[in-house]
Chains A and B, each alone.
Chain A
C-alpha cells in the first residue's frame, strides 16, 4: 500500500489532475457565494437580446452569460457540474457495491451458482446500456433517484464480471489454500484474503467508471431524457449550447463543454494513475 501511494504521488499527470479536480469541487461548493443570480431566475432584460445582453460579462453579473431563456449560465453550470460529479460518484459507488458482492459470490462459490449468476449478467449485458437507461427512465419517470437506479443498473454488470474473474484467479492461489490449511473458515477467507486483494482492481475500475457514468448521463440528458428542469446537468447544457451555436451564442456551448472535458480528462488520468500505482503489472 505504501508503495502504491508513492507510485501514485510520483505520477505527475495524476497529481496535476487531482489538483484540477479539487479546484472544480471547490468551484462547485464555493461558486454559489459569488453568483448574482440563481439557476432558475430569468433575466428578463437579457431575454430579448441574448446575443448581446446575454453574453458573458462582469457587469451584468452573468459571468458565463445566459442561456436561451435568459437564465444565468454561471449558476446553471455550477449546478450542472455538481450534478455530473454526483452522478459519477453515486453511479460508480453502486456499481462497486453491487458488482463486487455479485462477482465475489459467483466466483467464490462457483459451480452451478456461478453459472446461473453469470448467465443473468450476460443476458443483461446483451441489452445495450443506453437503451436500458432510456427504458428505466421511461418506466420509472425522470427523477434523480430513477437516474441513479438506471446508471447503477447498467454499471455493475461489467464490475461483476471483472470481480468474478479476479476472484477465480485468487481462489486458486496458494495463499488461499494456506489459509484453509490453517483452519480459516470460508467466510473468513473471503473477508480476510479475497476482498482485500480485490481492493486494487475494484478501486481502479470504479475510478474509471466515474467518467463513464458522467458520459452516460450526459448522453441521456443530451437526448432530453435526463434530469428534468429546473435541474440540469452538463450534458443537457451542452445539448442546449449545441442547439443554439448557429446563432452566435457560442459561450453557451463552450463553458459547459470546458467543465465537462476537464472533469472527464482529470478523472481519466486519475484512474490511470491509480491503475499504474495499484496494479503495476497491468500496464
Chain B
C-alpha cells in the first residue's frame, strides 16, 4: 500500500467513525428511554415494599433524580468510566462484573463459530461454483437449504441427542474453563446455519463472477484455471460475502443467548435472559448497549474491509 492509499483509508476510517460514534450515543439514549417507559420497576414486581424503603432504594440507585439527570449520569459514566452502573438484583455485583464474567465466554465460542462458518462456508461455496452441477455443488446447495431450517436452537437438541445421549462422546453442557470438549457442540450449533447461508452466497456470487467479461479476458490470455480463480475471481466473489459476514458476526453473538442457556456455559446470554425475566433493567440495558455498540463497530469494520477489497469505493 502506498502512502496515498493509507491516507485515503485513514480518512475513510475517520469519516466512518464520525458517523458511528453519534450512532452509538443515540443508541444508548434510545435504549435508556425504552427501559424507562417499561411498566413496573425491578422493585415493584414482588410483594409491595414500604414507601420509605422504596424511596430509600430508589435514592440509592439514583432513580429519584429527574430523568434527564439520570440519563446524563448514565451516559457520562459509560463514556468516561466505561461503567454501566450497579445491578438492580444482585447487591454485590454491578453490571460490569456480570459482563466481564459472561462476555469472554460468549465471545470465545462465538468467535470460533464465526470462523468455522466463514471458512467452511466460503470454501464450500467456491468449490460448488467451480464444480458447478457436480455432486459437490449439489451437496453445498443441499446444506445451504438445510441450514435454513437448522438454526442453533434446533441444532442444540440434535447434537446433544447424538453426541451425548447416543454416542456418549461429549459432555452435555458446562464450560470448564473452555476445554475443547465443551466447545465443540456450542460451536457447531451456532455455526451450521450461517455456514449454509455463507456457502449459498459465495456460490452464487462466484458463479456470476465466472460469467463476467474479465474472466473471459483472463481465459483469453491463457492463464491456468487455478490462477484465474485465485487471482481474478476470488476477490470480487468475496465482496458480497464480506458485507454479509458483519451481520453474521452479530447474529452469532446474539445467537449465543440460546447456546448459553441450552449448554449452560455461563455466558452472557444466561444473565441476559434471567435479567429480562426478573426485570433487572440495569443489566438488560447494559448488555443491549454492549451488543448494539458491537454491532455498530462490526459494521464499521465490515465497511473498511469492503473498502480495502474494492479499490473503486475508496473515496
A and B: bona fide binding partners: yes
Within 8 A of A (CB), among B201-216: 204
Pair A268/B295 contact, Cβ less than 8 Å: no
* B148 in complex: contacting residue of A123, A130, A239, A268, CB < 8 Å: A268
Within 8 A of A (CB), among B272-315: 272-273, 276-277, 279, 284, 287-288, 291-292, 295-296, 299
* A126 in complex: contacting residue of B251, B258, B277, B295, CB < 8 Å: B295
Q: Which residues of A contact B26 (CB under 8 A)?
A: 123
Within 8 A of B (CB), among A248-283: 253, 257, 260-261, 264-265, 268-269, 283
Pair A130/B149 contact, Cβ less than 8 Å: no
A-B contacts, CB under 8 A, total: 103
Q: Which residues of A contact B257 (CB under 8 A)?
A: 130, 223
B284 → chain A, closest Cβ, in Å?
7
Say if the beta carbon of A245 comes within 8 Å of chain B.
Answer: yes
Say if the beta carbon of A128 comes within 8 Å of chain B.
Answer: yes
A190 → chain B, closest Cβ, in Å?
29
Interface size on A, residues (CB 8 A): 38
Say if the beta carbon of A127 comes within 8 Å of chain B.
Answer: yes
Q: Which residues of A contact B24 (CB under 8 A)?
A: 126
Q: Which residues of A contact B39 (CB under 8 A)?
A: 139
Given contacts A134-B276, A138-B38, A268-B145, contact A219 B153 (CB under 8 A): yes
Q: Which residues of A contact B258 (CB under 8 A)?
A: 219, 222-223
B113 → chain A, closest Cβ, in Å?
15
Within 8 A of B (CB), among A226-250: 235, 238-239, 241-242, 245-246
Say if the beta carbon of B7 comes within 8 Å of chain A.
Answer: no
A254 → chain B, closest Cβ, in Å?
10
Q: Mark A122-140, 1 if CB is under 8 A from B, else 0.
A: 1101111111001100110
Pair B284/A135 contact, Cβ less than 8 Å: yes
Say if the beta carbon of A211 comes within 8 Å of chain B.
Answer: yes
Say if the beta carbon of A225 comes within 8 Å of chain B.
Answer: yes
Pair A238/B27 contact, Cβ less than 8 Å: no
Say if the beta carbon of A218 comes within 8 Å of chain B.
Answer: yes
B147 → chain A, closest Cβ, in Å?
10
Say if the beta carbon of B129 comes within 8 Å of chain A.
Answer: no
Pair B145/A126 contact, Cβ less than 8 Å: no
B28 → chain A, closest Cβ, in Å?
11
Q: Which residues of B contact A235 (CB under 8 A)?
A: 153
Say if the beta carbon of A215 comes within 8 Å of chain B.
Answer: yes
Pair B23/A238 contact, Cβ less than 8 Å: no
Pair A268/B149 contact, Cβ less than 8 Å: yes
Say if the beta carbon of B161 comes within 8 Å of chain A.
Answer: yes
Say if the beta carbon of B261 comes within 8 Å of chain A.
Answer: yes
B128 → chain A, closest Cβ, in Å?
14
Complex: A215 Cα to B151 Cα, angstroms: 8
Say if the beta carbon of B157 comes within 8 Å of chain A.
Answer: yes
Q: Mark B22-54, 1 if CB is under 8 A from A, else 0.
A: 011011001100100111000000000000000
B162 → chain A, closest Cβ, in Å?
11
Pair B165/A126 contact, Cβ less than 8 Å: no
Pair B161/A123 contact, Cβ less than 8 Å: no
Pair A261/B149 contact, Cβ less than 8 Å: yes
Pair B292/A127 contact, Cβ less than 8 Å: yes
Q: Which residues of A contact B157 (CB under 8 A)?
A: 238, 241-242, 245, 253
Q: Which residues of B contact A127 (CB under 8 A)?
A: 27, 30-31, 288, 291-292, 295
Pair B153/A218 contact, Cβ less than 8 Å: yes
Say if the beta carbon of B254 comes within 8 Å of chain A.
Answer: yes
Pair B161/A264 contact, Cβ less than 8 Å: no
Which positions in A face B, CB cutoff 8 Å? 119, 122-123, 125-131, 134-135, 138-139, 211, 215, 218-219, 222-225, 235, 238-239, 241-242, 245-246, 253, 257, 260-261, 264-265, 268-269, 283
13 interchain pairs (CB within 8 A)? A122-B23, A127-B288, A130-B255, A135-B276, A138-B276, A139-B34, A139-B39, A238-B157, A242-B156, A245-B160, A265-B148, A268-B149, A269-B145
